[in-house]
Copies of this chain bind each other. A is one copy, B any other.
Amino acid sequence: MVPNNASMNLTTLLHTAGVAQAGVEAKLAAVGLSLAKLAALQALIDAGDALPLNQLADRLSCVRSNITQLVDRLEADGLVRRRTDPHDRRLRLAVLTPAGRRACDEGTRVKASAERDLLCSLSRQEAEQLRTLLGKLAGSTA
């Protein structure tokens, strides 16, 4: 009887992702950001500093109501401002503020550094292997 020791399973994947996320999230928190907030700011910069909320939702692959709340928090932080689109009054633009741009710059540096710390336990070949395996997993399920 051969025990099926320590086989790959969902728990391992979720746990590792959770640990990794918690680490980065903690470092971002020291700058007043979260991964969700940083992703939104980055999406705005990529789009030229402003985006209608529905397009922001598309870019962040999440639901519109989530963006409404995320932008609420970003607005409360002074990192983003809401403006109405004169061409289509249904649309609400999220516009990056100067503080938002600064926060994004700093957050990007913090995140990159945290990511390096995380990935430095893997050799270049291992990192590449991991990327490939994760791609297969996500690709089959998508």
Contacts and interface: CB of A to CB of B under 8 A. Distances in A.
Contacts of A72: none
Interface string A112-142: 0011001111100011111101111111111
A10 interface: yes
Number of copies: 2
B137 A16 contact: yes
Given A15-B138, A138-B19, A10 B133 contact: no
The A interface, classified by DSSP as helix, strand, loop or mixed, is helix
A63 interface: no
B131 A118 contact: no
Contact of A121 (B7, B129, B137): B137
Interface of A: 6-10, 12-21, 23-24, 35, 111, 114-115, 118-122, 126-131, 133-142
17 contacts: A7-B127, A8-B119, A8-B134, A10-B21, A10-B115, A12-B131, A12-B135, A13-B17, A14-B21, A16-B17, A16-B134, A19-B138, A19-B142, A20-B137, A20-B138, A122-B137, A130-B130
